[in-house]
Amino acid sequence: MSRLGTDPILSIQDLDVKFTTSEGEVHILRQVSLDIERGSFLCIVGESGCGKSVTVHSVVQLLPENGEITGGRVLFTVDGRDQEISSMSRYGAQIRGIRGARIGMIFQDTMSSLNPAHKVGRQVAENLHQHRKISRREARELVVKMFSRLGIPDAERRVDAYPHEFSGGMRQRVMIAMAMICDPDLLIADEPTTALDVTIQAQIMELLKTLQQEAGKTVVLITHNMGLVSEVADDVAVMYLGRVVEHGSREQVLKNPQHPYTQALLQSVPFMGMDPNVPLRTIAGQTPSPASVTDGCEFAGRCPYVQDRCLTGKIAFRQAADGHVARCVLLDEDGMSECSRRDDARVEDSSGQEART
């Protein structure tokens, strides 16, 4: 179960993903459930390695060779038609008809994500040629138009430049142009600004926000930057160790976090609009390896409120009073979290004293 949505464009249901490594099979995603509302701007947050990137890669069947969807399903709904992406073959025609055309991907490292040997115009146009019958000249015109629309100056000339001739921010605009050129319904951006300056970061974010608001795109943004989340997100999903732990609107999650991990996360990073009087804190302990957690709540090992019932069985989503959901047993049936009543004690101080359970 996830937060109630009225018109999800993408519905991830109990998704399980396993990776085969030299040390054996590792369960990277466990029962990830997430409904993405059409036309919304969803931020998926969590520390690195929590599975947010794997989640969106499995949505478009672009997991690495050693990764595999082993359970659950992904439903993509456009034009009133449900398509079960998770059952499509990885490089088959069905999924390829969606990739690029219906779902645009924007990746983090633009230098390595663009082919160094081809001109950027050609790389963007490749997407057009793939999905539409279109002449070279028409494609070029569309690319130039898209470049100007996305704020790449001197677009007419720049389409003939190579990736290494662009700055990082401009390269990211090229990536966005590539994702946008076929007018997809859903844009997925995997940490698109991590490698960029703060000012450029803001520009790219603004651009994505504009695309959502004015062009009506659904945007999924993966980030570990809480500052970005507070500025652009409509909805927020928090992931920890291969699971979604909390999902709700920006207001709900940032102002009224229910899961102890979300609370800890919010107290550990500064972001716009936070109370300047509350000191920043660290989360006790280290993130365990995904292989070591098999049962119960994955945060139990670091959670200050851990109880016996946290350690075994499946922890289901519970709804908070304001309607958003979190996977925590402390969230009572009446919608009030026990832990939010014990405000001060919830996270260990950064001085490194022992966290006691």
Partner 1 sequence: MSSHTHNAASSLQPVPTPRQAGRQALRKPESSLHAYARSFLHNRNAMLGLTVIVLMVLAAVFAEQITGYSPTQMNPAQSRQPPSADHWLGTDQLGRDVFARVLHGARTSIYVGVAASLLETLLGTVLGAIAGYMRGPIDGILMRISEVVMTFPNLILVMIFVSLLGQGVNNVVLVFALSGWMTTFRLVRSEFMSLREETFVEATRSFGYSRPRIVFKHMLPNALSPIVVAFTINIAHYIIAEAGLSFLGLGVPVTTPTWGNLLSAAESSEVMKSYWWLWVAPALAIIIFVTGINFVGDGLRDVLDPKTRRTPVRKILRDNLLGKRVES
Partner 2 sequence: MITFLIRRILILVPMALLISMLIFFAIRLSPVDPILYMVPPDAANDPANLERLRESLGLNAPLPIQYLRWLGNMVTGDFGYSISSGQRISDILALRLPATLELVGLAMLLSTTIALSLGLFAGAKPGGIADKLARTIAVIGIAVPDFFFGIALLQIFSYRLGWLPAGGRMLPGQITFLDRLPQLVLPVAALTFGMLAVLIRYTRNSVLDTMGKEFVKTARSKGVPEWKVLYGHVFRNSLGPVMVILAFRLPLLVGGSVLIETIFRWPGIGHTVVSAVSSSDYPVIMVTSMLIALMILFASFLIDVVKSILDPRVRLS
- Smallest gap from residue 44 Cβ to partner 1 (A): 24
Interaction mask 261-290, partner 1, x per CB under 8 A: -----------------------xxx-x--
- Smallest gap from residue 22 Cβ to partner 1 (A): 11
Helix (H, G, I), strand (E, B) or coil at 15: strand
Q: Is 80 near partner 1 (CB under 8 A)?
A: no
Partners of residue 76 on adjacent β-strands: 10, 83
d(CA 313, CA 295): 6
> Looking at beta carbons only, is 191 or 298 nearer to partner 1?
298
Planar angle of CA 53, 290, 345, nearest 5 degrees: 95
Q: Please list every residue from 289 through 318 that binds partner 1, using CB under 8 A.
A: 292-293, 295-296, 300-302, 306, 311
Are 226 and 292 in contact by the 8 Å Cβ rule? The answer is no
Contacts of 71 (CB under 8 A, 6+ apart): 14, 15, 16, 31
Q: Is 59 near partner 2 (CB under 8 A)?
A: no
d(CA 111, CA 97): 26
Are 119 and 203 in contact by the 8 Å Cβ rule? The answer is no
- Smallest gap from residue 295 Cβ to partner 1 (A): 8
- Which segments of the chain does DSSP mark as H helices, in order? 52-59, 93-98, 110-113, 120-131, 136-149, 155-158, 168-180, 198-215, 226-232, 250-255, 260-268, 338-341
Q: Which does 271 bind (CB under 5 to 8 A by kind): partner 2, partner 1, none?
A: none
Q: Which does 121 bind (CB under 5 to 8 A by kind): partner 1, partner 2, none?
A: none
d(CA 288, CA 286): 6
> Looking at beta carbons only, is 48 or 115 nearer to partner 2?
115
> Looking at beta carbons only, is 135 or 286 nearer to partner 1?
286
Provide long-range contacts, Cβ within 8 A and 24+ apart, for 333-339.
337/258, 338/305, 339/260, 339/263, 339/305
- Smallest gap from residue 76 Cβ to partner 2 (A): 14
> Looking at beta carbons only, is 251 or 295 nearer to partner 1?
295
The binding site for partner 2 (CB under 8 A) comprises 60, 62, 91, 93, 95-101, 104-105, 107, 109, 112-118, 123, 126-127, 130-131, 162, 164, 175, 178-179
The binding site for partner 1 (CB under 8 A) comprises 284-286, 288, 292-293, 295-296, 300-302, 306, 311, 352-355, 357
